[in-house]
Amino acid sequence: MTFFEELRQERKQWWSRKDGQRLRASLDSLPEIESSFHVEAGRVCVGNTSNKNHKDQWLESAKNLIPWKKGPFQLFDQHIDAEWRSDLKWDRLAPHLGNIEGAQVLDIGCNNGYFLFRLAELKVAMAHGIDPVLPFAAQFELIHRASGLKNIKFDLFGMEHVDKWSEKWDMIFHMGIIYHHRSPVHQLLAIREALKPGGVAFIETIGIPGEDSSALFPPDRYARMGNVWFVPTLSCLMNWAEKAKFINIQVIADTDLTQEEQRLTPWCPPPSQSLTDGLDPLDPSKTIEGHPAPRRFMIKIEKKGGK
């Protein structure tokens, strides 16, 4: 067995844990439905609206999987309005994808796989999402089953496994991940190893304003998040990529993070927290801890060796 086959077997056992059993039961009891898939105004729509047999059971199961952090999805005629409007991030990214028909794409930390569904529409050979969080795997499975798509898949793997792939991927998405891990440059080196020569990666992150190449290393929380290590300026992010020996480093986005993009909704209700909870209510240019408020940066980078 290969490393990844063994890891897949090991991670399968997570479904036997207490929380896993609850999620499994909710998914396994779902009746078969006629699959359907399309994207409309940024919404990933699944479940055939002209054949609504079993709709109530499917919606009940989707409700059992609350909170939905990424979306939007539509299941039959029900809009699943997630905390994040991931379609807005997609709109920033999509014009820079180029022709990816037939490509092998990896999405690291894919959450429930919203971007995988958007990639499927572009006829990639395979969009493979990895994320080690079981409730997100369950959300992916529900939407995936209703979609009937064959060119996307999900595994409960993590960033720490990426360098086990060597020259495998044409494209890698690494979005909303770099600041959650303690070594930004090692992550970029792992991505470089996993990309084919000439392959490209999109690195998206929260960041702080400033012209200098520096990163905030919050002593405690950042915008109430406990697992934040380095929050770079844009110039620092580009410098990390350059030091990891990427070429053709392009800035794709440098934007404010707004409540249009991230907010609580009925599908991600309290006690989940969202953007406004992390900012100073009297001065939204600062986090609640007094650090600069997050911006969103995205860069496109290329591995040397392409034609």
Ligand X SMILES: C[S@@+](CC[C@H](N)C(=O)[O-])C[C@H]1O[C@@H](n2cnc3c(N)ncnc32)[C@H](O)[C@@H]1O
Q: Which residues bind ligand X (CB under 6 A)?
A: 70, 86, 108-111, 131-133, 136, 158-160, 175-177, 204
Nearer to ligand X, 33 or 108 (CB): 108
Nearer to ligand X, 86 or 233 (CB): 86
Q: How far is the CB of 159 from ligand X (least distance, A)?
A: 4
Q: How far is the CB of 278 from ligand X (least distance, A)?
A: 13
Tokens 């952090």 identify what position?
A: 69
Nearer to ligand X, 87 or 170 (CB): 87
Q: What beta strand segments (E) does 178-234 contain?
A: 195-207, 215-216, 231-232
Q: Is omega for the bond preceding 271 within 30 degrees of 0, making it cis?
A: yes
Q: How far is the CB of 290 from ligand X (least distance, A)?
A: 22
Q: How far is the CB of 99 from ligand X (least distance, A)?
A: 23
Could you give the CA distance from residue 298 to residue 135 in angstroms, rounded to a whole number? 27
CA–CA distances in Å: residue 266 to residues 79, 81, 109, 115, 286: 11, 7, 24, 22, 27
Which amino acid, 244?
Answer: A
Nearer to ligand X, 204 or 302 (CB): 204
Nearest by Cα to 62 from 129, 138, 147, 154:
138
Nearer to ligand X, 170 or 204 (CB): 204
Q: How far is the CB of 69 from ligand X (least distance, A)?
A: 7
Nearest by Cα to 274 from 85, 106, 45, 116:
85
Residues 6+ apart with CB under 8 A from 31: 53, 54, 57
